[in-house]
Amino acid sequence: MSRGNPWFPRGPPPFGRRRGSGRGQSRHSALLTRCFFGAVGLPAGKARLRRPFAVALERYPRLAVRATRLFAAAGVLCSLAIFAAVSADARRPRGINALGRPTCDSVASDTGSPFGSVVLGRVAIWPSNRVLQMNYISSYRPFRYWGKQGVEIRSGAKRVELIVPAAWRDRISVTWGDMGGPEGASAVRFANCRTLPDRPWKGYAGGFFARKPVCAPLVVRVGSRQVRLRVALGRSC
């Protein structure tokens, strides 16, 4: 019995060298050895680390064949999973992430009393039970449904913003005033414009873009306070 390292026994095959077999590794054992050490991140050139693993596979050739096939199948599955993830990301609808800043020159009207429900004392918006008519416009991108609805802002020291929640920015966008463009924005920040006597409410023309008719949330923020509303865009809430 050899007194050497038990991992490197000497003697006839399958442990010794075979004619035409390289260093005693079969085709499957050599391939699987490289795959295994590459997968776990070990240096491929470390023969002392690879040799025991290869010898064990050489002793059990059926295990080497099955393990090689298993590694190949796992590689195919990983490739398919990566391809599916990339394809799903490519198909994900493009969202809108932009801040609109309508100027005071885009004010359409100055009134003494608001037209709709007043939120936080500064924003006059349509009632939540009113369904806004949405029109399909094929040339608009990325949202092809458009609904016209103005908003009134009462002038004051605190900043007023209307915001689309982050989870909804791939489905709707908003626009008021002279923002321009058929895309809209994810948030609109209104300037504090000079008011006329007895006419503190400033009206802005605009509305909503949507991917399809939907009941969507809208955040109204005045200074540090905010309220989350629901808007019926071509569909009741």
**Model confidence, pTM:** 0.59
Which of 54, 74, 91 terminates a domain? The answer is 91
Render pLDDT for 145-168 as a digit per residue (tens, 0 to 9). 999 999 999 988 889 999 999 999
> 104 is in which domain, residue-wise?
99-233
Which of 73, 91, 109 terminates a domain? The answer is 91
The amino acid occupying position 25 is: Q
Whether 212 and 191 share a structural domain: yes
CATH code where residue 202 lies:
2.60.40
Which of 54, 72, 91 terminates a domain? The answer is 91
* Integer Cα distance of 196 and 111 in angstroms: 9
Whether 158 and 224 share a structural domain: yes
Render pLDDT for 34-44 as a digit per residue (tens, 0 to 9). 555 554 444 54
12 domain residue, yes or no: no
Whether 154 and 219 share a structural domain: yes
Domain tally, the chain: 2
